[in-house]
Amino acid sequence: MRHAATLLAAAVLLTAAALPARADVVVYCSADEKICRGLVTLFTKETGIKAEMTRQSSGETYARVRAEKENPRGDVWWAGTGDPHLQAAEEGLTEEYHSPLLPKLRDWAVKQAERAKFRTVGVYMGALGFGYNREELARRKLAAPKCWADLIKPEFKGEVQMADPNSSGTAYTMLATLVQLWGEEKAFDYLKKLNVNINEYTKSGSAPVMAAGQGETMIGVAFQHDVVMVALTGKPLVTVSPCEGTGYEVGSMSLIKGGRNPVDARKFYDWALGVSAQSIMPKFASYQVPSNAAVPVPKEAPDLSTIKLIDYDFAKYGSAAERRRLLARWTTEVKGAPR
């Protein structure tokens, strides 16, 4: 029994010892662990400011920022698809900031900032597309899919995987893209036909391309840079940019309102928009288009000149009301339809 009491006492002491050290800036990061870690380390190295990083998906980070709004713990929210950033801006969870680097950014990044009344800014851009598994395709001796329209061909029955737009920003981007490309009625006609070919609506947006890489499905809908990232780990994946044109995401960054380290947070913000931060991205297998105009597009990245980008209306399709309406319609008419 004496041992148990000792353990108890030791536990109490250990708890007291577990005091957190204060950091100069707390970064909520919604990219892959490797990228997040690398970025923060580089920031500390170049500026001497101690940064701390917590990694979660963009949906999780949004939920966290929202839950913490009465007493925020984070200072900057870096990366992750633009929609939750826009929604946070709409709800006033993030701070307005005009970075001195804004004029050095590419158009789409500044537009993202204007849309949110400068409560967020674009840090990278990536086009939507899909990836197919070369080996699986060869095994079935099928022609490679090149367009959105190819995905509803009968030979791909049960071979296409996409995420559920109710839970994934990637899949919601696809839904909004098709609506803007063809008009709402035609888009939903297409999605109903596609529903027959879908083998699974995954919960997470990155799951379909992972599954395609493993051969668990032939085709997975994803952002093209994610397809490239998985392909470079040695998986037989081919990136496709749909011939009809496609939408894109603007990976964003926001200052969290009421953060405890506003000065250093702004330093991180400016630094993350600068050349040195944005040019190391390919080193961490991140192949998006950087927002700083002086940084070249990585050579592994999907060739932008061959991608037909639509003029994606983030203001309309990023708004909570329109999103709720489209998702409700998709859930009843497409997901709820018999297969």
Q: Which of residues 214-233 bind other proteins (CB under 8 A)?
A: 214-217, 230, 233
Note whether 103 binds other proteins by CB under 8 A: no
* Whole-number Å distance between alpha carbons of 219 and 59: 24
Cβ nearer to other proteins, comparing 67 with 143: 67
- Pick out residues in 164-203 that bind other proteins (CB under 8 A): 164-169, 171-172, 199-203
H helix and E strand count, the chain: 14, 11
Q: Which two tokens stand for residue 101?
A: 């680097």
* Whole-number Å distance between alpha carbons of 275 and 272: 8
* Whole-number Å distance between alpha carbons of 225 and 301: 6
User: Which DSSP letter does residue 204 get?
Assistant: S
* Whole-number Å distance between alpha carbons of 53 and 37: 7
Figure out which of the listed residues 39, 53, 113, 295 binds other proteins, where binding follows CB under 8 A: 53
Cβ nearer to other proteins, comparing 136 with 244: 136
Give one word for 79, left, alpha or beta, with left for phi > 0 and alpha for psi -120 to 50.
left
Q: Is 176 helix (H, G, I), strand (E, B) or coil?
A: helix
Distance of closest approach, residue 167 Cβ to other proteins, in angstroms:
3
Per-position DSSP letters for 284-336, written without gaps between them? GT--SEESBTTSPPPTTS--GGG--B----HHHHTSHHHHHHHHHHIIIIIIT
Cβ nearer to other proteins, comparing 57 with 261: 57
Per-residue x/- track, 21-40, other proteins (CB under 8 A): x-x--x-----xx---x---
Which of 198, 144, 204 has the alpha carbon at shortest distance from 168? Answer: 204
- Pick out residues in 230-249 that bind other proteins (CB under 8 A): 230, 233
Note whether 44 binds other proteins by CB under 8 A: no
Which of 205, 187, 221, 195 has the alpha carbon at shortest distance from 334? Answer: 195
Note whether 322 binds other proteins by CB under 8 A: no
Note whether 19 binds other proteins by CB under 8 A: yes
Cβ nearer to other proteins, comparing 104 with 282: 282
Q: How many chain residues interact with other proteins (CB under 8 A)? A: 73
Cβ nearer to other proteins, comparing 89 with 295: 89
- Give the number of C-alpha atoms closer than 13 A to the C-alpha of residue 268, restricted to the C-beta side: 33
Per-residue x/- track, 124-163, other proteins (CB under 8 A): ----------------------------------x-----
Note whether 287 binds other proteins by CB under 8 A: no
Candidate segments 5-13, 148-156, 248-256, 309-317, binder of other proteins by CB under 8 A: 5-13
Distance of closest approach, residue 19 Cβ to other proteins, in angstroms:
6
* Whole-number Å distance between alpha carbons of 224 and 55: 22
Q: Is 129 helix (H, G, I), strand (E, B) or coil?
A: strand
Cβ nearer to other proteins, comparing 4 with 143: 4
Figure out which of the listed residues 24, 43, 57, 122 binds other proteins, where binding follows CB under 8 A: 57
Cβ nearer to other proteins, comparing 1 with 143: 1
State the DSSP H helix or E strand holding residue 161, giving kind and residue range, or none if neither: strand 160-163
Candidate segments 46-54, 95-103, 105-113, 275-283, binder of other proteins by CB under 8 A: 46-54
